[in-house]
A and B are shown apart, each in its own frame.
Chain A
Amino acid sequence: MEKVTAKVFRYDPSTDHTHRYETYEVPYEKGMRVLGVLMYIQDNVDTSLAFRYSCRRKRCGSCGVLVNGKPGLACMEEAKEEMVIEPLPNLPIVRDLVVETTEYEARIQSISPYLVRKNPPEREPEKLFPNNFTAVKPLNQCIECFSCMSACPVNGLKWEGFSGPATLIQLARRMLDPRDDMDRISDAGQAGFEHCVACYACVNACPVEIGILETVIENIKKKYMEKEPSIYGKYNKTLGDLIVKNGLVNPFTLMRKVSTFDKLLSNMVIGIKFFRKGKISLKGKKIPNIDEIRTIQKVIGEKR
């Protein structure tokens, strides 16, 4: 590869009616990153190109962009021969590849993203056993680059009922910290963790490889179930029962069985939106090997 052809999203909301794509050719160097391509353009071809970056080593999380449709950090993504570079989706655009993240900052602020302790430790430094921090350690790696937020299909609906993976990481980070004394269950409910559809889009997008599903969502679910089995448990049980019984889930049956009376109408509206966008379907196919699932369910039931 001798050169890289990059099609870059350009948009200045203060002067342009709409966005456009500019194509640039950049000489390739061994090991080149997307950030190297952007910097070459900014330094040598078009000095007006706007993008954010700082540390160049995936610590600051400020250079998130979409490369050929996939979110990632420009400093880490390898430059490809042909590339389309766009801003992270689902966020207001400041200019070119720079996006506005103020709304997410507000969401994170809403879940009390700090350690809360009733009493100070008896002595400092206190004894802390690394084994108790296994779950929380990787969460401290979150650099708030918002790649997961832009990859998440549920969050992508800009729906307030689900505050998105990055917010839930910050929540789980405190919830799983053995030192934290705050009851974070109602915040978890407010953040709408149960609306995660477990599609792994956030996990695949995370540049610091946080197991958002296993570590964050599953652990929040577990804590929630311990505390509030009624609402969330009902949803889980109904979903499982429908699968075992019919081999598929009719979303409207699920909704009717799970929603409380006051939520039914608003959920209905969302359901129809989902349906129109093709996110859910009534023509789903039955799971072919449903017998195996029934057997697994039976075995798990017996073990419990």
Chain B
Amino acid sequence: MTGIPSKETDVLIIGGGLAGMRAAVEAHDHGADVLLILKGKLGKMNAGICSYHYAAVGPWGDPDDKNELHLEDVIHAGGYLADQELCKIMIEELKDRVFEFERYGLMWDRKSDGEMDPYLGAGHSKPRTLSTWMRQAGLDMIHGLRSEMRRRKIPVIEDVMATRLLVKDGKVVGATALDYLNGILMGIQAKSVIIATGSHHQVFPVTTSPPEGTGDGVAMAYRAGAELMNMEFGVFIATLAYPSTFKGILVPTLFKIGDETLHLLNSKRERIMQRYDPEHLEMASKDVIARALQTEIKEGRGDGEEGDVLYADLRHLPYEAARQKLSEVVFFANKAGIDIKKELIPIRPAAHETLGGIRINKSCESSLPGLYAAGSAVGAIYGNDGIPGRGTGHAIVFGRRAGQFAAQGAQKNDRVSIGKVMDQVDDEKMRVFKPMERSSDIRPITVLKKLQQLVGKYFRWAKNDQDLNLGLKEILRIRKEQLPQISLSSHTKRFNLEWVKALEVENLIDMAEIMFEAALMRKETRTMYAREDYPDRDDKNWLKHIVVKKQTDGITLKAVPVRLLYVKPGKED
């Protein structure tokens, strides 16, 4: 073994979205040496960039609003599967982050008298949702954090994909990462490692989220022995149906223009929601809409080659108001050549986010000492669905905490030199370079498309045992037959994205397998999680988190009771 280029730091942060950058800033401010590495370019590759809102209780909105109410809203939306202890921490720390962002140069929307201008977000009981000009809170938050990274001159290595955690005596002591710009595997020794690599929504064929979300960090943590949770959950939502690159652009139903909303129509031009929720219609909760869309498609009332295209109708809405409230949909529909004043907008349901990830405690520590996690790489603490603003809030609050605790943890630890874990590094080098050396006609993209197709078909919003078993069998077959054969069409080591994809596919196969296993275990229907064969909510057996861990002989799953510390499930659904 000739050794590999190595770096050392106190706190290694993997991922550069809201959570990763917030963690880097905090760890730096706690005096730690920080190194942030990410796939792609800083401030560009993340899901936060597309978020609209942030929500917090503060000296704005309704004077009667309080954290307890916000907590109830969040826990209710998540089907009472939230980790209530962590949720309470999140809710309480949200307000200070609002002020912090203005110090970072962002400006929350103000009324003409100079005071904050909160609004009532869907699923919130009080107006406490904040945004910025043009409803671009996420983008402005990313830009704000990016400025703070620049102010502190925090070292960042871009175009690097982390591939494996290095573990010595049960403790995480660093990671290996593929620098695909130059085609070399590097080793990074660190006293603490924070995973902020986002979710693994790329298991789905169509998603609202960006292509980097391949669960790299979660898969890495899982293979190193960390516990995951909530892997059976995902959020499904209506998005544009074409052209191909606009698939996954969200069509938000929850905007009111006067007393009107957009209408969802099927192939017979019937208003879909009249059948499923005549009272709330398009203002119904996300899970009701997801169920409606999927039922229409299943019962053959969709258009298009695959029968999965439905329509959003904006024709009855005043154009100017629609353009302002639904600016993104209107903009992109126009770009696609659709005249929203005269034509229907084709839509189809897509995956919005995956909610599974690493299980953390109050200090953002995983079950592996030395390993921390934040953002969407964490198994969502709010349960199986969320209300607007929870994604950005979760990323920022736990990003900050991860930075703080990882920096403090680093003070207690010594660095372990790469030489002491050289056997792991050697193994990893073998694994990473294998697709480069192999020759076959199986390409990463072929395997990825096959996997996405399977997940799209069998891991729909409404699942059943039969589908899940079929899907799982197919996934295992891909793992056994195709994964070991993957090879690349070009063997260049310079910015070879196909090489990166080969490694991503392996991570996604891990994620998909766990998702199917966990979904087979949860035999109930609860808000955004649905089983056709178990259509009722089962509080008696399933007020539980499913926790997943890798053992030498495969996956082990256990159901851990939810601790109902502050909010108990109500009678109504």
Q: How far is the CB of A272 from chain B (nearest CB, A)?
A: 37
B316 at the A interface (CB under 8 A): no
- The residue in chain A whose Cβ has the minimal distance to the Cβ of B98 is A125
Q: Are A140 and B133 in contact (CB under 8 A)?
A: yes
- The residue in chain A whose Cβ has the minimal distance to the Cβ of B42 is A105
- Count residues on chain A whose CB falls below 8 Å from chain B CBs: 61
Residues of A within 8 A of B114 (CB): 127-129
Interface window among A53-61, A159-167, A236-244, A253-261: A53-61
Given A57-B328, A115-B104, also A48-B211 (CB < 8 A): no
A278 at the B interface (CB under 8 A): no
A75 at the B interface (CB under 8 A): yes
Interface window among B167-175, B394-402, B495-503, B519-527: B495-503
Q: Are B41 and A62 in contact (CB under 8 A)?
A: yes
Bits for B174-211, please: 1 = Cβ < 8 Å to A, else 0.
Answer: 00000001010000000000000000000000000011
Q: Are B147 and A52 in contact (CB under 8 A)?
A: no
A137–B108 Cα distance when bound, in Å, is: 11
Q: Are A48 and B243 in contact (CB under 8 A)?
A: no
B148 at the A interface (CB under 8 A): yes
Q: Are B49 and A46 in contact (CB under 8 A)?
A: no
Q: How far is the CB of B106 from chain A (nearest CB, A)?
A: 8
Given A57-B249, A60-B45, also A14-B494 (CB < 8 A): yes
A12 at the B interface (CB under 8 A): yes
Q: Are B495 and A126 in contact (CB under 8 A)?
A: no
A109 at the B interface (CB under 8 A): yes
A177–B144 Cα distance when bound, in Å, is: 14
Q: Are B494 and A54 in contact (CB under 8 A)?
A: no
B110 at the A interface (CB under 8 A): yes
Q: Are B150 and A94 in contact (CB under 8 A)?
A: no
- Count residues on chain B whose CB falls below 8 Å from chain A CBs: 70
A135 at the B interface (CB under 8 A): no
Interface majority SS on A: helix, strand, loop or mixed?
loop
B58 at the A interface (CB under 8 A): yes
B237 at the A interface (CB under 8 A): no
A289 at the B interface (CB under 8 A): no
- The residue in chain B whose Cβ has the minimal distance to the Cβ of A33 is B245
Q: Are A140 and B143 in contact (CB under 8 A)?
A: yes
B559 at the A interface (CB under 8 A): no
Residues of B within 8 A of A85 (CB): none
Q: Are A43 and B445 in contact (CB under 8 A)?
A: yes
Residues of A within 8 A of B430 (CB): none
Q: How far is the CB of A47 from chain B (nearest CB, A)?
A: 5
- The residue in chain A whose Cβ has the minimal distance to the Cβ of B102 is A125
A49–B262 Cα distance when bound, in Å, is: 40
Q: Are B45 and A31 in contact (CB under 8 A)?
A: no
Residues of B within 8 A of A14 (CB): 183, 492-494
Chain B contacts with A in 60-112, Cβ cutoff 8 A: 60, 98-99, 102-105, 107-108, 110-112
A98 at the B interface (CB under 8 A): yes
A68–B143 Cα distance when bound, in Å, is: 31
Q: Are B243 and A59 in contact (CB under 8 A)?
A: no
Q: How far is the CB of A57 from chain B (nearest CB, A)?
A: 6
Bits for A17-49, please: 1 = Cβ < 8 Å to B, else 0.
Answer: 000000000000111110110011011001110
Chain A contacts with B in 184-200, Cβ cutoff 8 A: none
B337 at the A interface (CB under 8 A): yes
Q: Are B45 and A62 in contact (CB under 8 A)?
A: yes
A262 at the B interface (CB under 8 A): no
Q: Are A113 and B150 in contact (CB under 8 A)?
A: yes
Q: Are A54 and B44 in contact (CB under 8 A)?
A: yes
Residues of B within 8 A of A96 (CB): 495
- The residue in chain A whose Cβ has the minimal distance to the Cβ of B39 is A54
Residues of A within 8 A of B46 (CB): 54
- The residue in chain A whose Cβ has the minimal distance to the Cβ of B494 is A14
Q: Are A15 and B245 in contact (CB under 8 A)?
A: no
A168 at the B interface (CB under 8 A): no
B116 at the A interface (CB under 8 A): yes
A130 at the B interface (CB under 8 A): yes
A114 at the B interface (CB under 8 A): yes
A127–B328 Cα distance when bound, in Å, is: 29
Residues of B within 8 A of A295 (CB): none
Please name 8 pairs of A and B residues whose Cβ atoms are closer than 8 Å in the assembled complex, sorted by A: A31-B242, A40-B244, A43-B445, A55-B210, A57-B332, A59-B50, A96-B495, A125-B115
Contacts A32-B245, A52-B40, A125-B108 supplied; 16 other A-B pairs, CB < 8 Å:
A12-B492, A14-B492, A15-B492, A50-B495, A50-B497, A52-B41, A54-B211, A57-B328, A95-B495, A98-B495, A109-B150, A114-B150, A114-B151, A124-B99, A125-B115, A140-B133
Complex A-B, nearest 5 residue pairs according to Cβ-Cβ distance, in ascending order = A31-B336, A127-B114, A48-B490, A115-B105, A14-B494
Residues of A within 8 A of B (CB): 12-15, 29-33, 35-36, 39-40, 42-43, 46-48, 50, 52-57, 59-62, 75-76, 78, 94-96, 98, 101, 108-109, 112-115, 117, 120, 124-131, 133, 137, 140-141, 143-144, 174, 177
